Structure 1
Amino acid sequence: MRISWNAVFSTAAAFVFCLVTSAAAQHLTMPGAVELRSFTQLASLGSDTGRSLPGAARPLSDQGRKRVATRSPSPTAQDEDAPTALDQNTFAGMPKAVGNEQWRCLTEAIYFEARGEPIKGQVAVGEVILNRVDASNYPDTVCRVVNQGTGRMHACQFSYTCDGQDEVVNDQASWDMAGKIARHLLDGAPRALTGDATHYHADYVSPNWARVYPRTATLGRHIFYKQIPGA
């Protein structure tokens, strides 16, 4: 029997061609097809190669972490978005507050001056009164601060004491909340909302002193100021 070497070479070439095309076919995708990978796979790819994917968050260096840790607070940190945790829930679990005459005077002032304000706004009014108690140029008790100038035309310091209306409590829930806030402050809670403010006014009026004293905070409808010594 005679062997045809041309036939052998043709058969071998055809076998090799089949192997090559089969291997190549495993790495081909259809035109326009997209290979999908999970986010975890992509993140792993970036990590393995030492590169970050476009838009991916990069871990902070030690220096970067230090910059974040020492970042200065926003200049409006004492405004309504202040981080101080004071809201309805802060006082909801407290028992009904009681106290002496000074507690009642502070409760009354918070109730009549700010019961329609958010909780922080009510606390802020209480802060102002206690800041005045601590200041050398104001009376040294809550009741004297609240009633300073009462009965004299344009001399009262808190408008509800000279508006000609009787101080009648007709909203018991708001009175109870004011009492809790007063108790909270008189018991030594930090005064962290108003920046040591001694004055405030509603945002729809503009007293003369508001052009002299620096503004320290805005909470609800009230704007707060700190009196400058000698001004």
Structure 2
Amino acid sequence: MSRKVRGASALTLVAMLGITLFGIEGTRAKAEMGEVAIVASEMPVTEAVDAADASSEDAQATGPRFVSNPVVQAVPETPTTEDKKANMIAASNLKDFLAGLPVPDSLDKELTCLAGAIYHESKGEPLDGQLAVARVVVARAASPKFPSSYCGVVYQRHQFSFVRGGAMPRINKASRAWQRAKKLAMIADKDEWSSEAEGALYFHANYVNPRWSKKMTRLAQIDNHIFYR
């Protein structure tokens, strides 16, 4: 009786093994035929839990953890006050200092009047002479003897010869002279570079000799302009 039971058990074991092998082979066959859709390489990438540092129960409780990397976008840098000071220290002359500054896209009304005076009155002068003209406009706007705004100073009657009929002539805004004048207006307005004629309220071309000049204190001559206080 015991031999029959043992024989039956052996036959049962062989049958079960055959079913298992058939199932495995069938699965492989289906995989080869494209019927198994899940492919290990296409599964989401997760952070593995170290088996040496965590028990199996902890690993089950924790589950797969998806790792996300922060997206960092670069922020465009704008010139700060410290940057401008560093540029001023590094520059040995006004030309170098001017070259280190960006051209402003636009100017407000007052700075446009100041840049216009630089452009029309002195665009043919050296940079120091152009800055000196700009600083005269700035000094006049700060003096009680003159209008209190740059536009008021520039359009004051009988002061600047380029103003005719209360209007400023056309400016070639694509020219390098205008781009330079805009920079110089910014520098003069903020007093970022010292002028040889600092404090001057008047100037004239060196080929004229106006009577009023004899009553003034001469400060400097820069190329074709003489400056007075």
- Which TM-score tier does this pair reach, normalised by the shorter chain? 0.5 to 0.7
1:160 counterpart letter in structure 2: F
For the Cα contact (< 8 Å) 1:146–1:158, is it kept in 2? yes
Distance 1:164 1:148 in 2: 8
Which secondary structure does the structure 1 equivalent of 2:177 belong to? helix
Q: CA deviation at 1:172?
A: 1.0
Return the match for 2:113 from 105, 111, 117: 105
2:171 maps to which residue?
169
1:135 maps to which residue?
143
Provide the identity percentage: 33
Alpha-carbon spacing, 1:106–1:205, altered in 2? closer, same or farther (3 Å): same
Alpha-carbon spacing, 1:164–1:129, altered in 2? closer, same or farther (3 Å): closer
For the Cα contact (< 8 Å) 2:135–2:198, is it kept in 1? no
Query: For residues 150-193 of structure 1, what are the alpha-carbon distances to aligned partners after superposition, in whole Å with 9 as ceiling and x for unaligned?
Result: xxxxxx20110038996122361000001000011212325432
Alpha-carbon spacing, 1:195–1:187, altered in 2? closer, same or farther (3 Å): closer
1:87 maps to which residue?
94
For the Cα contact (< 8 Å) 2:155–2:166, is it kept in 1? no
Gaps of 5+ in 2: 1-90
For the Cα contact (< 8 Å) 1:195–1:217, is it kept in 2? no
1:214 maps to which residue?
217
1:159 maps to which residue?
161
Return the match for 2:195 from 187, 192, 208: 192
Distance 1:131 1:223 in 2: 16
1:181 maps to which residue?
184
2:99 counterpart letter in structure 1: A
The ranges of structure 1 where at least 4 consecutive aligned residues each deviate by more than 6 angstroms after the TM superposition are 163-166
Q: CA RMSD in A?
A: 2.1
The alignment covers a number of residue pairs equal to 137
Which secondary structure does the structure 1 equivalent of 2:163 belong to? helix
Query: For residues 58-86 of structure 1, what are the alpha-carbon distances to aligned partners after superposition, in whole Å with 9 as ceiling and x for unaligned?
Result: xxxxxxxxxxxxxxxxxxxxxxxxxx954
Q: CA deviation at 1:89?
A: 2.0
TM-score of the pair, normalised by structure 1: 0.55
For the Cα contact (< 8 Å) 1:86–1:120, is it kept in 2? no
Alpha-carbon spacing, 1:118–1:163, altered in 2? closer, same or farther (3 Å): farther
For the Cα contact (< 8 Å) 1:202–1:221, is it kept in 2? yes
User: Which residues in structure 2 correspond to 1:3-22 (within 5 Å)?
Assistant: none
2:57 maps to which residue?
none
Structure 2 residue 132 is the aligned partner of structure 1 residue 124: yes
Query: For residues 70-110 of structure 1, what are the alpha-carbon distances to aligned partners after superposition, in whole Å with 9 as ceiling and x for unaligned?
Result: xxxxxxxxxxxxxx954322211211123210110000000
For the Cα contact (< 8 Å) 1:127–1:191, is it kept in 2? no
For the Cα contact (< 8 Å) 2:138–2:150, is it kept in 1? yes
Distance 1:166 1:145 in 2: 13
2:175 counterpart letter in structure 1: Q
1:94 counterpart letter in structure 2: L
